[in-house]
Amino acid sequence: MAIPFCSNVLPGSCAQRRQQINQWCAELGIEPGRKILLELSDTFCYCLCFVGIPSCDSIESNYCQRDSASVRQGCSNADLPVGAKLQLAIDGQDCYCLCPGTIATNAMTITLADGALLPISELSTSRHRILAAGLDLDFTSHDVALVSEAEHGRLHNAVYIRYGNGEALAELVLSGDCSVLVHRDGGREMIAARRLQLVDSLVDRDGAEVMIATLDSGTFDGPLWDVATRMDPPDENLSGHLILTGGIVTGDLATSIFSTAARSRNSSADPAVGSKHWLEVNGPARVTHPIEVQSGQFKSGALYEIRIPDNASP
């Protein structure tokens, strides 16, 4: 008698046990896509080791984008970064969607091809073209291949940035995995937002430095968006994938998912925003109260910390 697929015994059972299955596969040395035997409801069945299963889009056309709200929530619950594979199940067949990035909320602006600023909530793939460039900052007109809105939800790895060169400073909330162009060491490079330091300078359309006044990490409750000019892997110059979000240069969704260049600092020695090491290097530049920003609320991770009194009993 053939051993059944666990998700046929209990729908979604492999997806629900994704982390355990990944760990068992690694411990047992089972190759990606191979079967691992489990006991479920007094029945022996199998799941597939996670890497190697098909994209959900290959099972049901455009599934990941249409169900982007639940995909984003699943990625947030599992604490998965942008571009990671979230295991799901469609009609009992395991598959994956890539975790979407988070660029901005509906009060943030995107720069259109004619230089006008448009609230991201009004951006349309059929009616608008936007300015996009590569690392050379040669901005030209580009189509919008993807604009995806998710419902209000909690983003746990949010980075709050207050920036500008004048008295009127702007605010921006990004996913920690969103790629941002900065001036560093006499040049420009892409880094993940969570690796920003207060000594970094952001970059505007003309390549000028934009000072960072405040950086913090925490949660963001509000509407979330993804934008992409094309959903294909960028070249080394990231041509056509750098856009202007809130007046500064950020990567589009494809940059966050596909580009190794945009991830080059993720595993570097740069401390993560808000971490103990980051605070030692950058100083206590944290947000001391919840901030209403971009049609949502940012709350510093410091506000979740519980201080244990010195005289507390062990």
Nearest-angstrom CA–CA distance, 303 and 61: 42
Residues 23 and 63 in one domain: yes
Of 64, 98, 132, which closes a domain?
98
Residues 79 and 222 in one domain: no
Return the closest-CA partner of residue 137 out of 185, 197, 188, 210: 188
Longest dimension (CA), the chain: 74
Residues 149 and 193 in one domain: yes
Of 98, 130, 161, which closes a domain?
98
pTM of the model: 0.66
Residues 130 and 226 in one domain: yes
| Domain count for the chain | 2
Name residues of the chain where pLDDT drops below 70. Answer: 1-2, 7, 11-12, 15, 19, 31-33, 50-55, 57-58, 61-62, 65, 81-84, 100-107, 150-153, 166-168, 259-269, 284-285, 305-314
Residues 94 and 113 in one domain: no
Nearest-angstrom CA–CA distance, 196 and 202: 9
Is 1 contained in some domain?
Answer: no
Of 98, 126, 155, which closes a domain?
98
Q: Which domain holds residue 69?
A: 6-98
Instruction: State the CB neighbour count (10 A cutoff) for residue 163.
Output: 20
Residues 132 and 92 in one domain: no
Q: Residue 116: which CATH number?
A: 2.170.16.10
At 302, list the tokens.
């410091």
Residues 45 and 85 in one domain: yes
Is 307 contained in some domain?
Answer: no
Q: With contact defined as beta carbons under 8 Å apart, do 273 and 131 qualify?
A: no
Q: What is the pLDDT of residue 193?
A: 92
Residues 152 and 284 in one domain: yes
Is 313 contained in some domain?
Answer: no
Nearest-angstrom CA–CA distance, 39 and 25: 15
Residue 248: which H helix or E strand, with range?
A: strand 248-251
Is 134 contained in some domain?
Answer: yes
At 90, list the tokens.
């469609």
Residues 121 and 258 in one domain: yes
Is 224 contained in some domain?
Answer: yes
| pLDDT tens for each residue of 225-282 | 889 999 888 998 999 999 999 999 999 988 888 766 555 544 456 899 988 888 888 8
Is 306 contained in some domain?
Answer: no
Residues 137 and 266 in one domain: yes
Residues 88 and 116 in one domain: no
Residues 181 and 62 in one domain: no
Is 41 contained in some domain?
Answer: yes
Nearest-angstrom CA–CA distance, 226 and 231: 11
Is 308 contained in some domain?
Answer: no
